[in-house]
Amino acid sequence: MKNWLRVAVVSGLVLVVLVVTLTAGGKEEKYNFKGRTITYSAWWELRPDPGVSLEMERKARRAAEVEKKYNVKIDYVNIPWGEYLGRYITSAMAGDRIADIAIVEAEWFYPTLLMNNFCTNLSDLGVFDFTAEKFEPVTVNLGTYQGKVYAYETGRLYPRGVLFWNKSMFAREGLPDLYKIFFNYEWTWDKMLEFAKKLTKDTDGDGIIDQWGIGGANQRLEQALVISNNACYIDITDREDPKFGLTHPNAIEALQMHQDLILKHGVVSMSPEGAPWDYNVHAFVEGKIGMLVGKFWKISDYMKGKMQDEYGVVLFPMGPKAKEYASEMTGHNFKTMPITVKNPKEVAIVENAMTEPFPDEAPDEWREYYELNVNDEESIKTVEMIWEKQLGVVNLQWAFGINDIFYTIEWEVMTGNKTPTAAVEERAQEAQMRIKDALNL
C-alpha cells in the first residue's frame, strides 16, 4: 500500500444499544434507535422498487418493517465503481464512513480494507450468528481473519464460472451426453480433450478450421485450468503472508495443459488480433464452438433467445490433482461495516433483521429465475451443486496489482514463447516482492 494506507484508523467505537422494554417472556429485547439513519452503499441502485418484482416488493416491505420496529430510517447510496474504493478509504481516514453497510468487491476487501484496519470486527458485536443458514459460507470464510468475521454475504451466491456446451453439436458429432459424464464424476481434462479433438474440424472442406472444441473470453480458459487443478494465482492460506501461487506444481501443470490445448492439440478457438473480448462468446452462440468457458450471466446477455442450437451448463472438468469440481468466483461482492461506523451494534441489529428470510418465500422459489433462463433441468442441478458442495473458489488474481505479470505469463504460455516453468520462474521473484510490498511487510 501507499504510505497513506498505513495509517491506522482510530475511532471511538461506542457500542450503545438503547434497550426500552422486554417482552413478557423476557426473550426479545426491543430497541429504539431514535430515528437514526442506516445507510447501505453500492455502485448500483440498491433502493428496492416494489413495482419491479415480488423480490423488490418484499425488500421494500422489510425495510419499512425494520424502520418502524427500531425507529430508524433505511437509506441507500449509489457511488460510481471507479470512485468507490477511494471514497471508502478517504472517508474512513477522516473519521467518517462511506455507509453503515458497504458492499465491496472481494479484491478490495482483501488485502486493502481488511489488512489496513478499515473494517469492523463483526464477530465481537455479539449480534450475527455466522453459522446460521442465511449466511453464505464461502464469503464468510474469506471474510474471516484471525478467527473473527469482517465481511460476509447472505443468501445463495449467484453462479459465476461454468462451462457451456453445445448439446446440438455434441449430438451431430456422435459424442455422448455430457451431463451423464459430469454428474457421474467422470468429467476430467482428458475427457474434455478427447471431445475437443472430435469437435474441432473443417466443416466446409476449404482447409480452414471453422468449428472448435473449446473457447473462452479473456483469461477464462487459463483461470479455469488453474483453479480446477487445486491451484491458485494467489495463495492466501496465511493472510499475513500471501504467496504468488503459479510456482506450485499444480499451477505449472495447468499452464502446461493450456499451452498444449492451443499449440499441441490445436483445439482452442483463438480470438483474432483486434477482436472484441467477447469474440468467442459470439462464436459459441453462432454454433462455432462446442464448449465455452464463461460466466453464468452470459446466458441472459448473449444466449437466451439468440442461440439456435441447444446448450447446457456444467462445471469445468477436474484436473489430475483435483478430487472435486470448482467454480471460479471472480467479481463476487461482500458486505462490510467500515471501522468508523458509530454504535456498530445498532447497525448490526438492523442488518440482521433486514437479512432474515422472508416468511412468505417458498423454499424452491429461487428456481423460477433459473427456469426462465436455462434450457434444461440439468443446468439447474449444476447450479445447485455449486451451492450444496460449496464449490465456489474466489480468485484474487487482481487483488495485489500484479495483473501485468499474470497477463505476460499467459501470453508467453499461449504463444509458446516460453515454457510455463520458464515464464513463471522469470517473474516469480518480482511478483512475490510486489505482493509483499502491497501488504507493507
- pLDDT tens digits for 241-273? 999 999 999 999 999 999 999 999 999 999 888
pLDDT at 39: 98
Which pLDDT score, from 0 to 100, does residue 24 have?
Answer: 42
Are residues 257 and 316 part of one domain? yes
Q: Contact 170/397 with Cβ under 8 angstroms? A: no
Residue 319 inside a domain? The answer is yes
pLDDT at 337 over 90: yes
State the cell numbers at 167: 448439446
Distance CA 348, CA 256 (A): 48
Beta carbons of 152 and 130 less than 8 angstroms apart: yes
Instruction: Tell the burial category of 117 from Cβ atoms under 10 Å away from its Cβ (0-12, 13-18, 19+).
Output: middle
Residue range(s) defining the domain that contains residue 100: 3-158+331-357
Q: pLDDT per residue over 99-155, tens digit each? A: 999 999 999 999 999 999 999 999 999 999 999 999 999 999 999 999 999 999 999
Q: What is the pLDDT of residues 269-291, one digit of tens each?
A: 998 888 888 899 999 999 999 99
CB neighbours of 198 closer than 8 A, spacing ≥ 6? 173, 174, 175, 213
Is 415 within the bounds of a domain?
yes
- CATH code where residue 274 lies: 3.40.190.10
**Range in 24-33, 49-58, 317-326, 384-393 the model is least confident about:** 24-33
**Which residues lie below 8 Å from residue 197, measured CB to CB, with a gap of 6+?**
213, 265, 267
Which three three-digit cell numbers place residue 213? 472444441
The answer on 402 and 301 residing in a single domain is yes
Asked whether residue 299 carries a pLDDT value surpassing 90, the answer given is no
| CA 118 – CA 140 distance, rounded (Å) | 17
The answer to whether residues 88 and 203 belong to one domain is: no
- The rounded mean pLDDT for the chain is 91
- Do 193 and 336 share a structural domain? no
Question: How much is the pLDDT for 219?
Answer: 64
pLDDT digits (tens, 9 = 90+) for 15-38: 333 334 344 444 667 899 999 999
Indicate the DSSP class of residue 145. E
The predicted pLDDT at position 277 comes to 87
